[in-house]
Amino acid sequence: MRKKFWKKMAVVMSAVMMISLLGACSSGQEEPETPPAQTEENTEGETEAPAEAEGSGDLLTLYNSIPAEAEHVNLDSLPELKADKEYTIGCAMTNVSTGWFKGLYDNLEILLNEAGVKVLLVECNDDANTQVNQVENFITQQVDGIIINPANPQETVTSVLEDTCAAGIPVVAVDVPPEEGAAYLTACVTDAYRLGYMVGEELAKRLLEMYPEGDIEYGLIGGTDGNSIAAMRNQGARDAIKDVDTEGRIVEAAFLYAGAYSEESGLETAQNMLSANQNLKCIIGTCDAHIVGATSAAEQLGLEDNLIMGAVDGSKGALEIMKDGGPIVALGLNSPYEVGEAAARTILGYLNEGTIPSTKTLQMEPTLVTPDMVDDYYNPDAAW
């Protein structure tokens, strides 16, 4: 009995000593400090990040702490274009071959390379499932940050943004914000609604002056169904026309989705629209590639002298038509260079110093270009 008793006591004492050793090891670690509260700086578009914003759970907490209200910013108010370390940033683009998107990525790559960043490019051709796989590869490659132009449908992309957050990789969106509630730092965009409104307002004023009596029909070329930015541009134009035309004489006679944002899709859609509605006095495009194509369609049908057009973007091709006295008379300036630079500055500011944006949506200041000021914006040497 005594031998059994002391054997049992030896086992108990060994267990106690082991627990004591483990306790001593854990007590030697420092307790994490309580992070400071988020404070705002006196700079537009950015705030000081909480000290804990490094891990996956902390990154989600940080994302959720950023106010949702959109805010207009100037590029000079955003962090510097410099990399304090050798970062690798993945750029997940929907398209890099057509004008606006090519201008966006080309300039973004130049800015990041000049800042000392290694850039990894993927292109999904607006296929959300492909983009999900591409971003998953970025996670596997352990990139330092991701700049994404979200594909449609956006709810498909939301799942992979959750994965980037779990991996502790910050994400900045460009041109189009992810859907509400998605895990991302901020979206750098132009003010889609305001730009659409400015275009619609200018066209409505011109139409009422050109046609003082009777109904005035116009057509609207949509982009792709489900694109929130395209929808905001279109709604802005419609609201402006309603506000200017208090008598309700300007009537939307046709609306067709182009299914893309190219001159070819604008040409085909405008041909269908004009063939079915020969009384149209105006065509509004979601992007100016639509109305560059619509100009060709009107010329083919001999209707270019009967129409005025407007859209959002401000590409060299659209500005050339305006400069040459063509039907394009209103362009909302949506610069791919500005939104790309804003995204580069924002992601580098976070990686360098933990600087976070003051809002989930950073909007560039909106500008309208009309024929009387086109020379100030037209650059024959521009890539886009």
Judged against a pLDDT cut of 90, whether residue 109 lies above it is answered with yes
- Two structure tokens written together for 28: 């030697």
- What pTM value is reported for the model? 0.72
DSSP tag of 103: H
Q: DSSP letters along 323-364, please?
A: HTT-SEEEEEE--HHHHHHHHHHHHHHHHHH-EE-SSSEEEE
Nearest alpha carbon to residue 132 among 108, 164, 89, 96 = 164
pLDDT at 46: 58
Judged against a pLDDT cut of 50, whether residue 383 lies above it is answered with yes
Handedness of CA 87, 85, 169, 154 (dihedral sign): negative
Judged against a pLDDT cut of 60, whether residue 313 lies above it is answered with yes
Alpha-carbon Rg for the chain, nearest whole angstrom, is 27
Residue located via tokens 């009309």: 370
Output the CA angle 223-226-229, nearest 5 degrees: 65
pLDDT digits (tens, 9 = 90+) for 232-267: 999 999 999 999 999 999 999 999 999 998 899 999
**Measured between alpha carbons, how far is 380 from 384 in angstroms, rounded to an integer?**
10
- The residue-averaged pLDDT of 60-87 equals 94
Q: Which residue has the higher pLDDT, 47 or 337?
A: 337
Output the CA angle 277-279-280, nearest 5 degrees: 75
Q: Which residue has the higher pLDDT, 5 or 372?
A: 372
Nearest alpha carbon to residue 325 among 356, 303, 304, 346 = 304
Judged against a pLDDT cut of 60, whether residue 360 lies above it is answered with yes
Tell me which CATH code domain 43-184+337-364 carries: 3.40.50.2300
| CA 162 to chain CA centroid, nearest Å | 18
pLDDT digits (tens, 9 = 90+) for 192-244: 999 999 999 999 999 999 999 999 999 999 999 988 889 999 999 999 999 99
Confidence of residue 337 (pLDDT cuts 50, 70, 90): very high
CB-CB neighbours of 111 under 10 Å: 19
- The residue-averaged pLDDT of 147-162 equals 93
- The residue-averaged pLDDT of 114-142 equals 97
Say if residues 228 and 235 touch (Cβ distance below 8 Å).
no
Establish whether domains 43-184+337-364 and 192-334 are of one fold.
yes
Residue located via tokens 């004023």: 205
- The residue-averaged pLDDT of 178-188 equals 95
Nearest alpha carbon to residue 106 among 315, 337, 261 = 337
Tell me which CATH code domain 192-334 carries: 3.40.50.2300
Per DSSP, the three-state class of 215 is: coil
Share of the chain above pLDDT 90, in %: 75
pLDDT at 246: 96
- Domain ranges, ordered by start, for the chain: 43-184+337-364, 192-334
pLDDT at 174: 96
Q: Which residues contact 245 (CB under 8 A, 6 or more apart)?
A: 204, 207, 208
- Strand-pair category, 355-356 with 47-48: antiparallel
